[in-house]
Amino acid sequence: MNTIKETNFNFEGQTAFYRGKVRDVYTIEGKYLAMVASDRISAFDVVLPRAIPYKGQVLNQIAAKFLKATDDIVDNWVLDVPDPNVTIGRMCEPFKVEMVIRGYLSGHAWREYQAGRRSVCGEVLPEGLKENDPLPEPIITPTTKAHVGHDEDISRAEILQQGIVLEADYVMLEHYTKALFQRGTEMAAEKGLILVDTKYEFGKVGGKIYLIDEIHTPDSSRYFYADGYEERQRNGEPQKQLSKEFVRKWLIENGFQGKDGQQVPEMTDEIVLSISDRYIELFEHITGETFQKPRDAGSVISRVETNIRSALQRLKATD
C-alpha cells in the first residue's frame, strides 16, 4: 500500500526535525514548520505497526478546512497547504497543555465516571449520567503535553499554581477553546453530526496567541451521528460514531490498552482497510465533500517532498 509510514527529508535551511506519533515536523530557518501528516495511527499513546491508507490526507485536509473556517475566532499557524498531506506554517512556542473540551460523557471521561470518580480535571460531574449523555454544559479538561508516554489530566488550578501557563494567557485559551467548540458544534450539526469532544493546542509568537496543530479531525475529536442519537440513548445502545474510539475498542477487545507486557493484536489487511474507510467516511460527512484520492500513482513520498520544496521556495521568495 502506497502509504506514508515515515519521511526522512533534508531541506535547505532545515534546522530541526521531530517525529511525533503521527506527524513528521521539519523546522526551516527556525521560523517555519513543514508538517507532514503521515499515515501512522496511534492509540493509547502507542504507534500501531501498520499505516492506514489516506489517513494523513484525511487529517490534513479536514484540519485545513476547519482552521480556515475559524480564523475569525483566533489566528492560526497556517501559511500554506501545498500537498494533501502537508501543512506549512509559522513556528510558535507551544503552551504545554492541550485544551480538551467535552460536551458529552464519553471516552476517557466516561471511563473515569464508570470507575466511580465524579470529578475530572477539577470539573464536578453530576450523578445519574449514562455513557454518551450530554453534559449540562461543555467542560474543559486539560492535559499536560507529553513528548514521551501518556498525557496526564490536570486541573485549571494546578496549571496556574505550577506556572505552566500564565493566568492572563489561560483565560484567553479558555475563551478560544469554548468559541472554537461552539463553531465546530454548529458546523457538525449542519452535516448531521454531533461534536462530542475535541482538543485544541495553542502557541505564541511575539506575544500573540495562535491556534496550532490540527482541529476537528478524527484523531483529535469524537463525533456521533445526530440521526438516531436520542433513540439509542433511550435504549441504552452504543452510539454510532465517527472517531478513533472504534480503534481503541477493537484493541481493548483484543487485549491491548498500551500497558506493559501487552502485544498489539495483528492488523490484517481487512482491519487496515476498514479503518481507512472509516476515516474517509468521516471526511465526507464532516466536510460535505467527496474524498479525492490523488491521481498520481507514483510514490507518495516523492510527491510530498517535491511539493514541500516548491512551497518553501515560494515562502522564501516573498519573505
For the chain, the structural domain boundaries read 14-93+267-318, 95-243
This prediction has a pTM of 0.88
pLDDT at 148: 54
CA distance 211 to 213: 7
Residue 115 pLDDT level (bands cut at 50, 70, 90):
very high
pLDDT average, residue stretch 274-297: 88
Question: For residue 70, how far is the Cα from the chain centroid?
Answer: 16
Checking if the pLDDT of 149 tops 70, the result is no
CA distance 265 to 111: 22
Checking if the pLDDT of 266 tops 70, the result is yes
Q: Please name the residues in contact with 46: beta carbons below 8 A apart, sequence gap of 6 or more.
A: 258, 264
Range with the poorest average pLDDT among 28-32, 164-168, 278-282: 278-282
Residue 1 pLDDT level (bands cut at 50, 70, 90):
low
Place of cell 499513546: 45
Give the fold, CATH level 3, of 95-243.
D-amino Acid Aminotransferase; Chain A, domain 1 (3.30.470)
Q: Return the CATH class of domain 14-93+267-318.
A: alpha beta
Checking if the pLDDT of 116 tops 60, the result is yes
Place of cell 531541506: 11
pLDDT average, residue stretch 59-72: 96
HSE-CB at 189 with a 13 A cutoff on CA atoms is: 6
